[in-house]
Amino acid sequence: MLTNPMSEHGLLIGCDKYEEWLLPWWWSHYIKFNAYPVAFADFGLTKNGRKWCESHGECIVCPNLFSKSNQNHIPINTRMLWEKVYGEGFWEFRPIWFKKPYACVRSPFDKTIWVDLDCQVKGDLTPLFTLLDLNIELAVLKNGPIHQKIRHELNLILPEENHYNSGVIVFQTKSPTIAKWANLSLDSHGLFPGDEEALSRAIYFENPNMIDLPDIYNWSWEFPPNENAHIVHFHGHGKYKLIDEINNSPYAKR
């Protein structure tokens, strides 16, 4: 059943030219259960990709905060450490990751759900907006103990910090923590391998009134299937699982 669209509530997703092939797939699943407006953050779309987004919602242009070559100032020991977690090829994608907080602070909605484009929406998302009703600033999934342990051991986060997953974030758009995340990503991105570490630091600094996002709204594709999952996240190598589905589906050529 479709939800009633409300202008103060909406979703935000980001995309560049390398992932715009996911747009029709994402949209086809989303509209089965929801009718909230969607804003699209242009992380470097092609002309056709930008046209598609503009035909489905509002577009937010995100400038290049830094480029792949601008990362060479990061000390070699730090670079090697980060590559242990994210792989040597992550430098190509890192500048895109740090556009996410820039887009979030420019959301056109009062309450926003950020959803990564490799997330399959499988249910009504109205309950996520109700999470913010009691002066809650944001809701985000805390990563599991293995992720926490690795990042603590490698000093990627402070000993007292938690590590959060930024694939799905429910937030008040005027949230001071989201603003802090954006500022850290703009001014201090050399301190963090990715936007998730910057978000974790922003949460640590701001100590917001927040709740842990229920994992059914950011369910990893690596976990056993869960019929109650409302959002399944095909992060990392999970995108390969989507290729056959998309190539063999009617919306693949739209």
What is the distance of C-alpha 29 from the center of its chain? 17
Task: Return the CATH superfamily for domain 9-253.
Answer: Spore Coat Polysaccharide Biosynthesis Protein SpsA; Chain A (3.90.550.10)
What is the chain's alpha carbon radius of gyration, rounded to the nearest angstrom? 17
Q: Where are the domains of the chain?
A: 9-253
Q: Which of 165, 135, 171, 166 is nearest to 10 (CA)?
A: 171
93 vs 49: CA distance, rounded Å: 18
pLDDT of residue 6: 42
Please give the structure tokens belonging to residue 190: 């050399």
pLDDT of residue 179: 98
147-to-95, 154, 165, 175, 177 alpha-carbon distances in Å: 22, 11, 10, 26, 22
What is the distance of C-alpha 61 from the center of its chain? 16
pLDDT block averages, 10 residues each, the chain of length 254:
60 96 96 97 97 97 87 91 91 95 97 97 96 90 90 92 97 97 94 96 97 96 94 88 71 46
pLDDT of residue 239: 81
- Output DSSP code: residue 10: E
